[in-house]
Structure 1
C-alpha cells in the first residue's frame, strides 16, 4: 500500500510540475513566433519551432515525412513565395502536458490568401529539449 501511494504521489507531482504557466507561455510563444516568421515570408524562421533532427515527424495529406530538412524542403516546395504563404493564424484549442518535458497541442490553422482561404487542424507533440520547447511531431490536415 505504501509503495502504491508513493507511485501515485510521484505521478501527481510530475504531472503538476509539468503544468506551469511558464511552460504554457513558452509553448504559445513558439507557435506565435512560427506565425510571425510565416507571415514575413521567412520559412527558415518558421522552422525554428521544429526540432532540428532527422527524427522530426511531419504527417500531412501525403503521409509521413521524417527529418527537419525534408520538412523544410516540402514546405518550400508547397509554399514557394509570400503570395503562396499568405497570412497564417493559429487557433489553439488546448494544451495538455503529458510529462514535465512533453506537451500535446490541438489547434486550427487558417491561411488568408488573395484567391483562397484554406484551413484545417493540427496536433503537435512538443518536447522541452535543452530548455526550449520544440515541435517533435506535427500532424496537420
Structure 2
C-alpha cells in the first residue's frame, strides 16, 4: 500500500513539473517572438503577447494604463519608428508559477538605440493562461 501511495504521489509531481516546464517554454517562446517583432519594428505583432482586453494593465513611468488598445496606442506614440524602437534584448531573471494558470516573470530590458541613446530597466510581467493560451495581463516596466 505504501508503495502504491508513493508511486501515485511521484506520478502527480512528475506530471505537474512536466506541465510547468511546458508552460515555461511557451512563455519564453512568446517573449522571444515579441523580441523579434520589436526588432523588426512591428509594434502590433509585439503586442500579440498581451491580453487583448480592456482589463490589461500596464504600469510605467507615467503611471497605470488600462486596456490593450490604449497600451498599443502608447507604444506607437512613444516608439513611432524603428530608430526610436532600437534593438530590444530581454534578460530573464526569474520565472515563477504561482498557480497552474498564473506566472510572473521578472527580468531586465535593454534598447540599443544608436541615434537616440540606449535605455533600459526592469520589468515584472504577470501571465495568465486564458482559453489555453498564455498572455500578459499586467506589465510593470521601469
Q: TM-score range by the shorter chain?
A: 0.7 to 0.9
Render the CA deviation track for 1:84-127: whole Å, top value 9, x for unaligned: 00000000000000100000100000000113110100001000
Between the aligned partners of 1:32 and 1:20, the Cα distance in structure 2 is 18
Contact (CA 8 Å) 2:41, 2:82: kept in 1 or not?
A: yes
Query: Which ranges of structure 1 fall in alignment gaps of 5 or more residues?
Result: 1-8
Contact (CA 8 Å) 2:109, 2:123: kept in 1 or not?
A: yes
Between the aligned partners of 2:30 and 2:131, the Cα distance in structure 1 is 15
Q: Please show how residues 1-141 of structure 1 align to structure 2 within 5 Å.
A: 17=16, 20-115=20-115, 116-141=117-142
Contact (CA 8 Å) 2:96, 2:105: kept in 1 or not?
A: yes
TM value normalised by structure 2: 0.86
User: 1:17 Cα shift?
Assistant: 2.5
Between the aligned partners of 1:66 and 1:123, the Cα distance in structure 2 is 16
Between the aligned partners of 1:61 and 1:20, the Cα distance in structure 2 is 32
Render the CA deviation track for 1:42-93: whole Å, top value 9, x for unaligned: 0000000000000000000000000000000000000000000000000000
User: 1:130 Cα shift?
Assistant: 1.2
Between the aligned partners of 1:101 and 1:30, the Cα distance in structure 2 is 16
- How many residue pairs get aligned? The number is 129
